[in-house]
Amino acid sequence: MKKDQTILQKLKGNKLASVTLLMLLLLSLFWFFQHRAPQKAIIQKPLDRIPVTVAPVIKAAVRDSFSTIGTVEAFREADIFSESAGLVRKVSAEPGSHKKAGDALVIVDDELAASRQRKADAHYRQTKRDVERYKTLYTEGAVPLSAFEAVQLQNEEAQAEFVAATRKFSDTKVKAPFTGTLTTRFVEQGELLNEGGKVAHMVDMTKVKIIIFVPEREITRFAAGTQLTVTSDTFPGQRFSGKVTAVSDKSGRDHTCRVEVLLDNNLKKAFRSGMFARVITTGDGHRESLLVPRIALVAGIRKPEVFVVRNGKAVLTPFIAGLELQKELEVLDGLKAGESVVTSGQTELINGSAVLVIGSKKGSATP
């Protein structure tokens, strides 16, 4: 103890020795931490296989049919314009109201037009009486033929003026061009309406047109007058009957032709403009074909690709699709019967990913 105290006293008396000793201590600690044996970090091994569900590519008998999605449009629709200018006196065009052909939607101030029509009517009746009187005088030889013809011309001019004035008076009432439903109104009572101004928009939904675009190879199925089946997700389990009314004679750049299918619109289960509907044409015969589940598609039908499980890995495989069935797609080329395609878990996969099959779905034998 006395020696330790003596050393401490000496160190306190010698500042240089104290600083040197402290530096040696720090260097020793630094060397120790640099050269100690490294501890192995605990690393979690990531899951090397992605769990997926698969289903087989099957061979089954399919009916020779074709289906495609189309857009529903109104049988008739039109923007309605005013052919007369003036102050709007009355509006009978409420959105959603049903109008018959010829019903007045908007009435424009007609005072001046009515006055011109009465004046033209009076002039026309006067010239008509003059024609009858001059005809009698000409028959009796009291007036020359030229005088009689002049009166006839005056009568024809008066008749033309009367027709124009009557039409102008009639135009002060903007009428429904066909029976239908008003969707939009663009004017209010008291508003000053210009000639050619838009008044309202109407649609006729008693029938609807379904516009579809059919590939060239299938266009022969859609001759004018052909009866087709129509379905919609809005009315599950329901089937409607439509008829082809128009087929375009020119295909687009995507090699499809525009086809119109006409359908009676039931008021209880009414289609609305802008809805989607599926049009199906069914053949009489059956044939054997390869089928793959639609849910196995990685992207869309325009570029069909699926992941095929081969040797424990998911291989991204493109194929050529044929008929579109409700739950399956026909395979024309690119896949073989019995191959397993991924039906769930595709979003986690890339080409060549290792997979773990945790379940499988049996393919339908009768699509």
Q: Are residues 268 and 318 in the same domain?
A: no
* Domain endpoint, select from 124, 154, 171: 171
Within a domain: residue 191?
no
Q: Are residues 240 and 252 in the same domain?
A: yes
Give me the mean pLDDT over the 233-242 stretch: 87
Within a domain: residue 228?
yes
- Report pLDDT for 68: 86
Q: Are residues 224 and 277 in the same domain?
A: yes
Within a domain: residue 90?
no
Q: How many angstroms separate the CA atoms of 57 and 74, rounded?
A: 41
- Report pLDDT for 47: 54
Q: Are residues 302 and 325 in the same domain?
A: yes
Our measurement of the distance from residue 45's CA atom to the centroid of its chain's CA atoms, rounded to an integer in Å, reads: 48
Assign residue 227 a region (left: φ > 0; alpha: ψ between -120 and 50; beta: otherwise): beta
Q: How many domains does the chain have?
A: 3
> E strands along the chain, which residues?
50-56, 58-81, 86-91, 98-99, 104-108, 173-175, 180-185, 192-193, 198-215, 227-231, 240-247, 256-264, 276-293, 305-310, 313-318, 320-324, 328-333, 340-344, 353-360
Q: Which residue has the higher pLDDT, 30 or 339?
A: 339
* Domain endpoint, select from 267, 285, 303: 285
* Domain endpoint, select from 270, 285, 300: 285
- Report pLDDT for 42: 41
Domain with 323, as residue range(s), is 51-62+287-360
- pLDDT of 230 higher than 80: yes
Query: What CATH number is given to the structural domain containing 122?
Result: 1.10.287.470
Q: Are residues 275 and 295 in the same domain?
A: no
Query: What CATH number is given to the structural domain containing 355?
Result: 2.40.420.20
Q: Which residue has the higher pLDDT, 41 or 288?
A: 288
- pLDDT of 304 higher than 50: yes
Q: Are residues 292 and 234 in the same domain?
A: no
Q: How many angstroms separate the CA atoms of 83 and 168, rounded?
A: 8
Please check whether residue 290 is in contact with residue 62, taking contact to mean a CB–CB distance below 8 angstroms. no
Please check whether residue 139 is in contact with residue 148, taking contact to mean a CB–CB distance below 8 angstroms. no
Confidence of residue 360 (pLDDT cuts 50, 70, 90): low
**pLDDT, the chain, mean:** 84
Query: What CATH number is given to the structural domain containing 219?
Result: 2.40.30.170
- Report pLDDT for 46: 47
Q: Are residues 207 and 278 in the same domain?
A: yes
Least confident of 4-8, 178-182, 193-197, 215-219: 4-8
Confidence of residue 34 (pLDDT cuts 50, 70, 90): low
Least confident of 57-71, 128-142, 239-253: 57-71
Q: What is the Cβ-side half-sphere exposure of residue 236, based on CA atoms within 13 angstroms?
A: 1
Q: Are residues 147 and 213 in the same domain?
A: no
Nearest Cα residue to 80 out of 176, 189, 183: 176
Q: How many angstroms separate the CA atoms of 359 and 51, rounded?
A: 9
Secondary element (H or E) of residue 17: helix 15-35
Within a domain: residue 234?
yes
Please check whether residue 212 is in contact with residue 70, taking contact to mean a CB–CB distance below 8 angstroms. yes
Secondary element (H or E) of residue 2: helix 2-13
Within a domain: residue 366?
no
Q: How many angstroms separate the CA atoms of 242 and 228, rounded?
A: 5
Q: Are residues 281 and 293 in the same domain?
A: no
Q: Are residues 354 and 324 in the same domain?
A: yes
Q: How many angstroms separate the CA atoms of 58 and 249, rounded?
A: 38
- pLDDT of 6 higher than 80: no
Q: Are residues 301 and 243 in the same domain?
A: no
- Report pLDDT for 285: 64
Within a domain: residue 262?
yes
Q: What is the Cβ-side half-sphere exposure of residue 60, based on CA atoms within 13 angstroms?
A: 18
Within a domain: residue 135?
yes
Q: Are residues 259 and 279 in the same domain?
A: yes
pTM of the full predicted structure?
0.56
Give me the mean pLDDT over the 116-121 stretch: 94
List % helix, strand, coil for the chain (3-state, nearest 5).
25, 40, 30
Give me the mean pLDDT over the 123-147 stretch: 92
Within a domain: residue 187?
no
